[in-house]
Every structure is written in C-alpha cells, then in structure tokens.
Structure 1
Amino acid sequence: MHAPSAPVPPAPVPAAAASGGTPPTRHRGVWVAYAAAAWAATYGVAALVWTLTGRGYPFWRNEPDAVLHGVSPDVGAPVFAAVLLATAVAALAMAGRHAVRLSGLPRAALLTFGWAVSAALLAVVPSANALALTGYAPMLIIGAPFGWPPDVDYSHVLNWSMANEVWCMAGGYLLGFAVLSWQRTTRAACARCGRRPGADGSARILRWGRRATLVAVVVPLLYAASRLAWLAGIPLGITDDMLRELQDSGGVWAGAGLGAFAVVGSVLTLGLIQRWGEVFPRWMVGLAGRRVPIKLAVIPAAYVAPIVVSAGLGIATSSAIWHVAGYSKALVVTHMLWPVWGIALAFAAYAYHLRRRGACTACGLGGAQPAGLTNPDS
C-alpha cells in the first residue's frame, strides 16, 4: 500500500500582499528611470552645446523647424536644454531604491512635470511626417525593389529630422515608464502592475474602454472614406479639378494606400473588444485557437496613438490647411479629430491590457476576472 499523498499547499502569498504593505519593487522601473535620466542628460547637454555654439545640432545646419514645428532653433535649443536637463534630475529623483518619497503638492508637481515632458516628447515633437511615413511604409517597402512609387528620394524621407522625432519618442516612452513606476510606488502600489491589496480601480476604465475603442474605430474610417472615394472617381470633399489632378499624377493611389491602412487599423482596433482579438480565429493556420499575446495588440497601439495626436495637433495649428484650393473644410475637420482618435486608441489599448492581464509576477495580486469578461492570460 502506498501512503496517501500529502495535500498540495496553496501558493504562498507575497508578504507585501498579505500585510498590505508596499509590494516588491523588482520591475523595469528600477532601470528605466536611470535610462530616462541618461537619455535626457545626453540630449540636454547636446542641446546646451547647440545653444552656446550656434551649431545646428542634431542636423548640422540650422533648419526652420529643426526641433519643433513652428519654433526656430534659436528658441528651441535653449528650451530643450533647460527642460531636458531638469528632466534628467527629475528622473534620477525617481530612480532605484533611493528614489525620493514625496506626497501632497510636491509629489503632484513632480508628476505633472514628468508627464508633461513625456507627453510633449511623444505627441508634440513628432510631426505629421511620422504618421505619413508609417502609412506609406508598406508601399515603400514593397515598391522599392521595383522603383515604385517613382521619384521618391529616400534621403529626404529618412532624414535627420525624422531621426530626431524617433529619438524623442524613445525618450518619451522611457520617461513615461519611469514616471508611472514612481507614481505607483509613492501611493503604496505595485510598481509593475499598479495594484494595491484590497483595491482595484480598473472597473471604471474597463467600462469606458469599449466606448473608447468604438471612437478609435470610427475616426480613421472617416479619413479612409474620402481617399477610397477618390480612387473610385468620386470627388468626396474636393473639386472635380482637384480629383483630375490626383488621377493624372497618380496621387489617388497613394491616398488609397493610406485609406486602406486606416481601414486595417480600424479593424485591428475593433479586435480590442472582440473574441478574435484574444484568441486567433480558425482560419489562421498554425495559430488557430491560440491566445493572442497582449503585447501584439498593445505595442502597435502605443506607437500609433501619439503620432496620430501629433499629426492632428500639427494640422489644427496650421493656418495653411484651411486655404488649400479645391479641398473642403469638412475634410480638414476629419483630420482635426485625430487627437481624439489617438487618445481614444491609447485608452482602449490600456483597457484591453487591464482586462487580459493575469496575476502580477512581482506582487502576486490579480488573476480574478470581472464578471462578463473572458479569462485573462496567465
């Protein structure tokens, strides 16, 4: 006879979760704040040298819109130097085990500064070129070996200005993660997941997540409708003369490519609230029935959301767009909805992440799924 096996003990609950104290801090925030500080210090010093020497860093020559659309290098360089050097100090104050512990007004001031700089790097510094390049990327990649689209100078497409925008977005993400981790730890929450023992503030976000998703689906379709109509020979929002010019130059095909990109984006966004956005559908051979990785949906949304906001802000602040011959103001308004699109997309992706995430590997909290929602990933 075999002795009866002993019952399997339950998984241990992390001490922080059981005691109600601050959860463990082994997470990306330990290093990301140092990385954000290094990024800001490097760029801040370079901008300071630019300010003092008058050299056109980082473009080797002064360009009217070198740093920020509508801001001259003479103004932009010292502003970047001052703000980013202050950002480096703020990021160090949020870094590691010796991060400052603030509360009340000082904490709110530091968070406001950190989030404002992160938002500016992500959604203000990039121009509409970042969104345009993203939309044209499939056509450029596929057509490059065949010389299509014709007359494309890639040295002007992938230039120093675009490199600076990408670099600033990278810094914005680093700083955003650093600020988010510090914000969580200073309110006695897990720096990795934001949960606190006995408290769950995600219910309201989940309720609004569906509405935000629908907004993020509809707005790009408004843009796509006009571009696809032009390809079909319908002058939606433009004059007949302008449509003929686009047809003669081949511009309708470029517009249709961007419209198709917007439609695909809308469909993928809809997946944030659909079953096939969590489990690969049957027709996807080799993947059918497998769970969709959360990051596969969240990372593209996190990239697209800020550049959509930036492009919309650029259009909204440009007076020239209202005076384009043959272009109706109704179409301009659809472009001005892009900031709403970007904010809604970011919110929808965050709600999707909250809904599907499982128990936190750092603090052990979570894992229970609200009623009416599918089971989260483990």
Structure 2
Amino acid sequence: MSAYTLPQSQSPVPARGRWWTNRAGYLAAAWAALSGVLALVWTISGSGYPYGTADPQGTASLLRFLPPDVGALVFAGLTITVAVAALAMSGPQAVRLRGVARVLLVAYCGTVVAFLLVVVPDVQVLTTAGYLPMLIIGAPFGWPPVDYAEVFTWSLGNKVWAMAGGILLARTVLTWLFRTGGACLSCGRSADGPTWTSAESAARWGRWATYLAAAIPLLYAATRFAWLANIPLGVSPEFLREMWDTGLVWAGGGLAAFAVVGAVLTLGLVQRWGERFPRWMIGLSGRRVPIMLAVVPATLVAIAVTAGGLAMYSLPEVWDFEAFSFSVGPALLWPLWGVALGAAALAYHLRRRGGCSRCSRDD
C-alpha cells in the first residue's frame, strides 16, 4: 500500500438520492425571491439594510465601505436575477445550454455564490460561532456577562441567511451541471468522469489537505495560550496587560481551546476513528460514523473561516507593518485554512461514499 494512500472505508454505504436533489433549485429561487423583496424594501424605505456602513459590528468586513443606498440596490439586483436563474435551472424541465451561454450562466451564479458565502459574512459570523459554546454553557450561570441582544443581531441574522442562500444556489448549480452534463444526479459520477474524484485519489490529496487544515488553527491557539501564560508572543507587553485588564485574554484562551478541539476533529477525517466511533464512546462504540456528521460541520466551518479570514484583510492595521502584531497575524492564514478544510471534507466524502444505488457506478 502506498505511503500516501489511506485505508479504504471499512463500511462503504451506497449513495442514495436525497429529497432535495430536485428541490434545491426551487428552494434557492424562493430564497432569492424573498431576499429580493426584502432588498427592495431596504431600497425604497432607506432603512433596514444590515451590511457595510450600516453595521456597527462590521468593522472587519469586505462590505465595510458599501453605503446602504448602493448596497440595497446591489442586493436587490443580484437576488432577483438569481431567482430567475435558479428557477430556470430547477427540475427535470431545466433549461439546457451549451457553449458560451452555459459558461456565462455558471460564471454568474458562481460569482453570486462566492459573494454570499465569503464576502457577505465576516468576522462576526466566525467570532459568534467560536464563542457559541461558551455562550450556551455559561448562559444559566450569567457568564460571560454580555447582552445577548448585542450578540445575536439583525445584521448577524442576515449574514447567516446569505450563507444559507449561497449553499442552496451552489447545490442548484451543481445539480444542473449534473443533469445537463449526463452525470448521476445523486453522486455526480459519469462514464468519463475525472480520476481525482476516485476514492484512491481522494485518499492521497485529502491527507495533505487535512494536515494543513489541522496545523493552521494550532498556530492561532499557540499565540493565545502564550498570552494566557503571560508571555507576550508577537505583541507588546503593554497590549498584553491591557488584555488582562479587560479579560480578553480569557476569551482568547477559550477560542484557542476550541481551535485545538477543531484541529483534533479535523484529523479524524483521515483516521480510522473518523469512520467508526472509538471504543470509549459508550452506546456508539464500533458503529459507523455517518458521512454527513463529519462533512456538514467541516464544510460550514470552512465557509465561516474563509469568510472571516478574507474580511480581516480589510482592516487597516493588517497593512500597517509597523503596527502589525500576532493579534491579527494568524488570522491572515484563515482563508488557506478554510480552503484546506473544505478540500479535506470533500476528500473524506469521496473516499467514503461507496457505490451509488441510483446509477450503480463505483470507483
């Protein structure tokens, strides 16, 4: 066996058609239509727009300089045109395009997907997700002492809503490409499909993606744990004292702990215990780990990390090399972390999906 080839899954499960295979397009169209109406209300009323300069927590955002009057009109135009495109790509009667028209439609929808998934969300989404376990566990005890109305804001809700639309539209485009390209709607395999999607190939490149996705959050955690140990790693002693005075050092330590947990779970994508629950898990020991139990969380984290990392590049201090510090430095690797984690999740799925009950194809 090759040194770069992981053991094949001990329990391959046939891929089955999912209920949303034919419904994702309609859901995406409904999402876009509703969002378009909402954006028109923002445009006409001049209020309610949640992004850019209208978002008090959007200081680290790629939309930070987009004024409400322009932003609302942009969102209205994008979502209304996407509603039409998603409806045209939905169901067995989906439009079939070839050549330049096909490329343009995929390029436009792909651009909108990228906009919804990694431009609209920002550091607020990632930060809230990181603090969420602490907020849930500490809520009954009144810790941390925060106003939850200031955490779960109208702006945050719209960013999560945008991410949901991006995922629906991405699935719509993928299903349409499968349907009009002669591939299986359930697994995406075709008679002359690419070799990189095979289980054996995914085991090779997925290993490197997984190790990279596990290493980057450990770098972030190392800086925060150092501060918790009162070591000014990459920051000035004055800045570290300020974090101790405000209590931010404890928040950073909590995020570092979850980063370590995330890194360990990421390694599970290439370990046997990532396929079958380990013995110490009473009631689950030896049972097969559902593929989506690993793929869905990893994909969502990959999206949030990529979006938050790209948003960090909008901060002026990132480009001020004299004031640069490790308080933001590790975050500059987050886009790479997100891409690597997404690739690792994809490789895990390809390696474990097994044969398809719909088209009977296998790797």
1:361 aligns with 2:357: yes
Q: Which amino acid aligns with 1:50?
A: W
Give the structure 1 partner of residue 38 of structure 2: 46
- TM score, norm. by length of structure 1: 0.84
Q: Which amino acid aligns with 2:161?
A: W
Match of 2:357, SS state, is coil
Deviation per CA, 1:272-323, whole angstroms, max 9, x where unpaired? 0111111111121221111111111101011111111111111112114455
Give the structure 1 partner of residue 335 of structure 2: 339
* 2:316 aligned residue (301, 316, 319): 319
> How far apart in 2 are the matches of 1:169 and 1:298?
17
The gaps in structure 1 that reach 5 residues or longer are: 1-23, 369-378
Give the structure 1 partner of residue 11 of structure 2: none
The gaps in structure 2 that reach 5 residues or longer are: 1-15
1:283 aligns with 2:295: no
Q: 1:27 to 1:359 in 2, by over 3 A?
A: farther
Deviation per CA, 1:79-114, whole angstroms, max 9, x where unpaired? 111111111111011101110111222111111111
Give the structure 1 partner of residue 5 of structure 2: none
Deviation per CA, 1:38-88, whole angstroms, max 9, x where unpaired? 1101111221232233233469x9557599433111111111111111111
> How far apart in 2 are the matches of 1:112 and 1:27?
26
Q: 1:25 to 1:225 in 2, by over 3 A?
A: closer
* 2:241 aligned residue (231, 240, 244): 244
Provide the identity percentage: 54
1:181 aligns with 2:178: no
Match of 1:30, SS state, is coil
Contact 1:25–1:362 (CA<8 Å) still a contact in 2? yes
Contact 1:28–1:192 (CA<8 Å) still a contact in 2? no
Q: 1:62 to 1:277 in 2, by over 3 A?
A: closer
Q: How does 1:1-378 map to 2 (within 5 A)?
A: 28-57=20-49, 63=55, 68-150=63-145, 152-197=146-191, 199=193, 201=195, 202-203=197-198, 204-322=201-319, 328-330=324-326, 332-366=328-362
Q: 1:116 to 1:206 in 2, by over 3 A?
A: farther
Match of 2:128, SS state, is helix
Answer with 1 or 2: which has the greater Rg: 1
- CA shift, 1:233, in A, is 1.5
- CA shift, 1:351, in A, is 0.7
> How far apart in 2 are the matches of 1:234 and 1:72?
41
Match of 1:28, SS state, is coil
Match of 2:23, SS state, is helix
Q: 1:58 to 1:321 in 2, by over 3 A?
A: closer
> How far apart in 2 are the matches of 1:219 and 1:352?
19
Match of 1:56, SS state, is coil
Q: Which amino acid aligns with 1:74?
A: D
Q: Which amino acid aligns with 1:281?
A: P
> How far apart in 2 are the matches of 1:252 and 1:25?
48
Contact 1:206–1:355 (CA<8 Å) still a contact in 2? yes
Q: Which amino acid aligns with 2:100?
A: L
Deviation per CA, 1:113-171, whole angstroms, max 9, x where unpaired? 11211121111101101111111111111111111112x11111001001101111111
- CA shift, 1:209, in A, is 1.4
Match of 2:22, SS state, is helix
Q: Which amino acid aligns with 2:342?
A: A
Contact 1:40–1:171 (CA<8 Å) still a contact in 2? yes
Give the structure 2 partner of residue 5 of structure 1: none
Q: 1:63 to 1:298 in 2, by over 3 A?
A: closer
Q: 1:46 to 1:33 in 2, by over 3 A?
A: same
- CA shift, 1:359, in A, is 2.0
Q: Which amino acid aligns with 2:264?
A: V
Deviation per CA, 1:163-202, whole angstroms, max 9, x where unpaired? 1011111111111111111111221101221011364531
Q: 1:53 to 1:246 in 2, by over 3 A?
A: closer
Structure 1 vs Structure 2 CA RMSD: 2.4
- TM score, norm. by length of structure 2: 0.88
Match of 1:29, SS state, is coil
> How far apart in 1 are the matches of 2:336 and 2:17?
34
Give the structure 2 partner of residue 10 of structure 1: none
Deviation per CA, 1:6-31, whole angstroms, max 9, x where unpaired? xxxxxxxxxxxxxxxxxx98852311
Q: 1:114 to 1:288 in 2, by over 3 A?
A: same
> How far apart in 1 are the matches of 2:227 and 2:324?
14
Contact 1:25–1:190 (CA<8 Å) still a contact in 2? no
Contact 1:46–1:57 (CA<8 Å) still a contact in 2? no
